[in-house]
């Protein structure tokens, strides 16, 4: 598949408590124009959710987030995850993700981590936690000496702040949760999720968000 960073301007980061919600949630996001969906491994239902989306929503590119160990790498890929995202990395975890055969985004927050990954031939990374770790100012600074690296910033990014990230040359997409608000998921208001996804999918580098006031 093409790079995860090029599938859409925003990758929804979703927490699914009930696997029953996985398919209608994914369909709403895809209908809104966000095919790449990161299901975080923070709940017991996560792997079942990935499995259901992979089987029943063919237009979705479902991935696993909060990947923390070789075991979660193996389980995620077996469930149908087509990409992996970690908040950070160790040599053991990195080796497992590389061996998985699917694209992956290891999390970084320092230039030393970035350079170490570059030494290993990795040029696409997750920048986390984006806002707390320096935000757009940090990424602008990194782009000068390390222009070959592309990031998916995640952590604290909103509909109103996303365009400033997407305007940067070293940002391929951002990760966010605003299009899957907990109250909408709890109410199974998939129409609202679709509308929020459509607003996120409409973001373009350097373009102001027309729907920022509705976030």
Q: Which residues are catalytic?
A: 38, 126
With the C-alpha atoms ordered 1, 161, 180, 126, is the resulting torsion angle positive or negative? Answer: positive
Q: Among residues 166, 92, 161, 155, which one has the least CA distance to residue 127?
A: 155
Task: Report the length, in residues, of the chain.
Answer: 215
Contact 38, 11 (CB under 8 A): yes
Rounded CA gap, 83 and 134, in Å? 26
Name 124's Cβ contacts closer than 8 Å, sequence gap at least 6.
Answer: 3, 4, 5, 103, 105, 149, 150, 151, 152, 172
Contact 23, 57 (CB under 8 A): yes
Rounded CA gap, 42 and 182, in Å? 14
The DSSP call for residue 9 is S
Q: Is 200 left (phi over 0), alpha (psi -120 to 50) or beta?
A: alpha
């Amino acid at each position: 598949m093409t790079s995860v960073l090029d599938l859409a301007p925003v990758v929804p980061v979703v927490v699914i408590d009930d696997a029953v919600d996985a398919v209608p949630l994914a369909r709403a996001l895809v209908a809104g124009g966000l095919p790449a969906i990161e299901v975080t491994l923070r709940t017991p239902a996560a792997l079942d959710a990935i499995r259901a989306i992979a089987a029943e929503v063919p237009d979705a590119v479902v991935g696993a987030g909060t990947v923390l160990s070789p075991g979660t790498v193996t389980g995620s890929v077996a469930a149908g995850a087509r990409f992996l995202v970690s908040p950070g990395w160790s040599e053991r975890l990195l080796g497992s993700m590389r061996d998985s055969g699917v694209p992956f985004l290891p999390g970084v927050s320092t230039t030393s981590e970035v350079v170490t990954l570059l030494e290993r031939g990795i040029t696409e990374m997750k920048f986390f936690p984006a806002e707390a770790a320096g935000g757009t100012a940090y990424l602008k600074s990194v782009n000068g000496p390390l222009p070959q690296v592309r990031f998916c910033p995640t952590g604290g990014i909103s509909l109103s702040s996303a365009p400033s990230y997407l305007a940067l040359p070293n940002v391929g997409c951002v990760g966010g949760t605003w299009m899957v608000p907990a109250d909408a998921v709890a109410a199974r208001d998939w129409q609202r999720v679709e509308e929020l996804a459509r607003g996120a999918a409409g973001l373009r580098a350097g373009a102001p968000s027309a729907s920022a006031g509705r976030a």
